[in-house]
Amino acid sequence: PLSPPRQGTRQGPRSVVVTGIGALVTNDPAFGPGPLGVVRDAALVVEEGRVVWVGPASAAPDADRRHDVGGRAVIPGFVDSHSHLLYAGDRTEEFNARMSGRPYTAGGIRTTVAATREASDAELAARLAAHLREMTRQGTTTVETKSGYGLTVELEARALRVARAQLQEVTYLGAHVVPPEYADAPEEYVALVTGPMLDACAPHARWIDVFCERGAFDADQARAILTAGRRRGLELRVHANQLTAGPGVRLAVELGARSADHCTHLTDADVDALAESEGRTVATLLPGCEFSTRSPYPDARRLLAAGVVVALATDCNPGSSYTSSMPFCVALAVREMGMTPDEALWSATAGGAAALARTDVGRLTPGARADLVVLDAPSPVHLAYRPGVPLVAEVWRAGEPEV
């Protein structure tokens, strides 16, 4: 489903005008009120996989083909900037135990590591493809995913190769946890992650990530890993302040990481640091994780009030957040995190694009990739107003209908 954009065929229509759009979310204030830049009674023209025109339907130019969406809302495809889809096995029992009162400790990561080590390349690829199809059906058109359940040189590189064959945004997370065979020698594992494992993984990844948390990697280890990655040309993102108010967020800002992810437990100094980065470091909030671990949600309102750029993503993984649904995350962000429906939608589209340093997605304005979602609703507010309802009617990626 996420194959590279196809070129327009010679026989087929080259341009399409999408008309009858009740509300078009452009994410560009130049086109309409507010950060969502909503155009009412709109049309949009797609050519060669790109948006070439947006505006009022009454002013729409001619195209080879017309597609009328009957007054429904159209939004940019969701940008899910944080997931862990390169794994095998199942953690239903751990979820069951948690819902009977056990806390989430991230110790379950090792369960998935054991299962992933047993899986074939073909199984890993097939599971990734199945999850990506599931995401597409729910309106997601850009996905980031990470390694982190192999934790050997060969298996981390294998996961990233599998990911690269299906996706553009691929992240090396050899520093997810210290695997059991290095339990007594964590510094040796850090040396592996910054040495031979990095050599094997860097060619297949755009990003490097570290789980900076008590029980995973401390600030010094995380700094060593991230700076080694940067020397190899990787861009930085950090799992920060998920379980405790640790040093992750400040380290992410200090090193100029593009995103600090989770941001659940923040001190005032953390919020100030993110604000002072002036959008250079995005705070990526992952409410599926708090939902699935029965934990208090991050305070999005506090971050927005400080001027921090906020993204929303699923964190889809078999342990802490096994949802692939961006609409669900939008609804949670609104109900549980103090975001307005408009803010949550912006964060799930333009915010995700910012967290991935992408300017071609997360917006529907001329020049953008034609990734659009037609909602079975007159307004995008329905994403939060009608939680759990399958509102995604059509999904186009690079101008091609996929759903």
Positions touching ligand NIG (CB under 6 A) are: 84, 106, 108-109, 112, 211, 239, 242, 289, 315, 317-320
Binding-site partner at residue 51 among Fe ion, ligand NIG, none, CB < 5 to 8 Å by type: none
Q: Which alpha helices (DSSP H) does 232-373 contain, by range?
A: 248-254, 268-276, 287-293, 300-305, 326-336, 341-346, 352-355
| Distance of closest approach, residue 84 Cβ to Fe ion, in angstroms | 6
Residue 32 burial (CB count, 10 A): 19
Binding-site partner at residue 109 among Fe ion, ligand NIG, none, CB < 5 to 8 Å by type: ligand NIG
- The residue count for binding Fe ion (CB under 5 A) is 1
Residue 396 burial (CB count, 10 A): 23
Which residue reads 């995973």 in tokens?
A: 216
Q: Spell out the residues 6+ positions from residue 341 whose beta carbon is closer than 8 angstroms to its own.
A: 330, 334, 380, 381, 383, 384, 385
Binding of Fe ion at residue 80 (CB under 5 A)? Answer: no
Task: Tell me if 149 is assigned to a ligand binding site.
Answer: yes
Task: Tell me if 242 is assigned to a ligand binding site.
Answer: yes
Sign of CA dihedral 344, 345, 349, 354: negative
For Fe ion, the closer CB: 194 or 321: 321
| Distance of closest approach, residue 273 Cβ to ligand NIG, in angstroms | 20
Task: Tell me if 87 is assigned to a ligand binding site.
Answer: no
Binding-site partner at residue 211 among ligand NIG, Fe ion, none, CB < 5 to 8 Å by type: ligand NIG
Pairing type for strands 259-262 and 282-285 reads: parallel
DSSP symbol at 282 = E
Q: Which of residues 296-325 bind Fe ion (CB under 5 A)?
A: 315
Pairing type for strands 372-375 and 392-397 reads: antiparallel
CA distances from 86 to 83, 162, 254, 332 (A): 9, 8, 29, 25
Residue in 52, 6, 41, 25 with CA at minimum distance from that of residue 401:
6
| Distance of closest approach, residue 320 Cβ to ligand NIG, in angstroms | 4
For Fe ion, the closer CB: 19 or 314: 314
Structure tokens at 221: 């280890």
For Fe ion, the closer CB: 28 or 315: 315
| Distance of closest approach, residue 154 Cβ to ligand NIG, in angstroms | 20
For ligand NIG, the closer CB: 43 or 193: 193
Residue 150, classed as helix, strand or coil, is coil
Tell me the C-alpha distance between 195 and 162, whole Å: 21
Site map (CB under 5 A) of Fe ion, residues 133-172, x = contact: ----------------------------------------
Tell me the C-alpha distance between 10 and 64, whole Å: 12
Task: Tell me if 121 is assigned to a ligand binding site.
Answer: no
For ligand NIG, the closer CB: 113 or 374: 113
CA distances from 212 to 35, 142, 180, 258, 275 (A): 32, 25, 18, 15, 20
Binding-site partner at residue 341 among Fe ion, ligand NIG, none, CB < 5 to 8 Å by type: none
Tell me the C-alpha distance between 53 and 72, whole Å: 19
Task: Tell me if 67 is assigned to a ligand binding site.
Answer: no
For ligand NIG, the closer CB: 109 or 151: 109
For ligand NIG, the closer CB: 290 or 343: 290
| Distance of closest approach, residue 268 Cβ to ligand NIG, in angstroms | 23
| Distance of closest approach, residue 388 Cβ to Fe ion, in angstroms | 23
- Residues in the annotated binding site for N-formimidoyl-L-glutamate: 149, 317, 319
- Residues in the annotated binding site: 82, 84, 91, 149, 176, 239, 242, 315, 317, 319-320
- Residues in the annotated binding site for Zn(2+): 82, 84, 239, 315
* Site residues for Fe ion per CB under 5 A: 315
